[in-house]
């Protein structure tokens, strides 16, 4: 007790590793899964998820995992579908070697690691890695809240397990010497995707986006919202606005027609094409 008068303890905040999972999407080689399991164990991560692996040969996985990481392999979850695997996560970090193609902000591993310290206190985080040969496709990057690129020399293609190791090492060593910002629970991927569906329908209805190809136009909307860390209540507000737009239009139409003494002629009628939206 006496000592505490002389030594003010500076709290060091670190990421909550038990809230972080490594997600491998379509890995080709069981040896890489094993090497990733070992890297997880080295860096204090115990949650490994594999989605639609090309080969999940346990003998080859365990050879690279080594005896010490058997528990990580035993607890490994295997999914068929990426969206389902990511559903329960509140914050998804996508790794990509491609720069600029998405015109989205891409951070380096150290920046991401620092960002994850406060987020990890109350949220489940997925670190998402694509297949060895081609990385994450655009439709997969779309699911991510933030993107990270590992700085390299000209030859940017890293071995999968080594890329995982660099990310985990940065997270393991990152500590903030200040109280982390309180980050409330963020919307889960389930909630987010349902919101994007709803937005897509509403924006197509008001002809802000082309109903023929809503996914293309929704890319801008996704990029826009992925820059914020949307919380569950933000999602509720946005869906509330969508419902309200629909309600208002119907209500006005009904009332004006009623006042004019006219029966509805075309309750779901479309107006002529007039697209404002997208870019």
CA atoms within 13 A on the CB side of 209: 22
Comparing CA positions, the residue from 138, 145, 133 lying closest to residue 26 is: 133
Q: Among 165, 192, 195, 218, indicate the residue that binds a second copy (CB under 8 A).
A: 165
CA atoms within 13 A on the CB side of 260: 10
> Radius of gyration of the chain from Cα atoms?
23
79 scored as a contact of a second copy (CB under 8 A): no
173 scored as a contact of a second copy (CB under 8 A): yes
For a second copy, how many residues bind (rule: CB under 8 A)?
75
- In the bound state with a second copy, the residue whose beta carbon lies nearer, of 108 and 138, is 108
Which run of H or E residues covers position 170? helix 160-173
- In the bound state with a second copy, the residue whose beta carbon lies nearer, of 5 and 224, is 224
Helix H segments across 56-137?
A: 58-65, 70-74, 82-86, 109-122
**Footprint on residues 233-272 left by a second copy (CB under 8 A):** 233-234, 237, 240-241, 243-245, 247-249, 251-253, 255-257, 259-260, 262, 264-266, 269, 271-272
Write out the two tokens for 276.
């404002």
CA distance 154 to 38: 28
- In the bound state with a second copy, the residue whose beta carbon lies nearer, of 87 and 277, is 277
Q: Among 51, 158, 192, 218, indicate the residue that binds a second copy (CB under 8 A).
A: 158
The residue ranges of DSSP E strands in the chain, in sequence order, are 13-14, 20-25, 47-51, 77-79, 91-95, 106-107, 125-129, 146-148, 175-176
- In the bound state with a second copy, the residue whose beta carbon lies nearer, of 80 and 259, is 259
162 scored as a contact of a second copy (CB under 8 A): yes
2 scored as a contact of a second copy (CB under 8 A): no
Q: Among 90, 120, 200, 229, indicate the residue that binds a second copy (CB under 8 A).
A: 229
* 111 CA to centre of own chain: 16
With contacts defined by CB under 8 A, name the span among 8-16, 32-40, 119-127, 139-147 that binds a second copy.
Answer: 32-40
CA distance 271 to 233: 33
**Footprint on residues 138-157 left by a second copy (CB under 8 A):** 150-157
Give the shortest CB-203-to-a second copy separation in angstroms: 7
Give the shortest CB-2-to-a second copy separation in angstroms: 28
**Footprint on residues 191-210 left by a second copy (CB under 8 A):** 203, 205-208
């Amino acid at each position: 007790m006496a000592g505490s008068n002389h030594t003010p303890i500076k709290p060091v905040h670190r990421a909550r590793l038990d809230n972080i999972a490594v997600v491998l999407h379509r890995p080709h080689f069981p040896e890489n899964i094993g090497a990733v399991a070992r890297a997880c164990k080295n860096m204090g991560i115990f949650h490994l998820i594999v989605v639609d692996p090309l080969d999940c040969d346990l003998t080859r996985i365990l050879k690279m995992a080594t005896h010490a990481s058997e528990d990580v392999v035993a607890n490994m979850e295997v999914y068929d579908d990426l969206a389902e695997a990511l559903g329960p996560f509140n914050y998804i970090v996508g790794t990509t070697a491609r720069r600029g193609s998405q015109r989205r902000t891409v951070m380096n591993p150290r920046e991401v690691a620092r960002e994850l310290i406060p987020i990890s206190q109350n949220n489940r985080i997925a670190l998402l890695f694509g297949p060895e040969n081609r990385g994450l496709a655009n439709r997969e990057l779309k699911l991510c809240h933030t993107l990270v690129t590992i700085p390299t020399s000209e030859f940017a293609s890293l071995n999968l397990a080594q890329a995982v190791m660099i990310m985990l090492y940065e997270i393991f060593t990152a500590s903030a010497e200040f109280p982390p910002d309180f980050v409330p629970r963020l919307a889960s991927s389930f909630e987010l995707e349902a919101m994007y569906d709803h937005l897509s329908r509403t924006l197509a209805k008001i002809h802000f986006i082309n109903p023929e190809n809503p996914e293309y136009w929704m890319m801008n909307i996704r990029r826009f919202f992925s820059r914020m860390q949307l919380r569950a209540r933000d999602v509720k507000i946005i869906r509330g606005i969508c419902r309200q737009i629909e309600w208002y239009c119907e209500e006005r139409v009904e009332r004006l027609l009623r006042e004019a003494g006219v029966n509805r002629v075309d309750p779901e009628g479309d107006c002529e094409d007039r697209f404002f939206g997208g870019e």
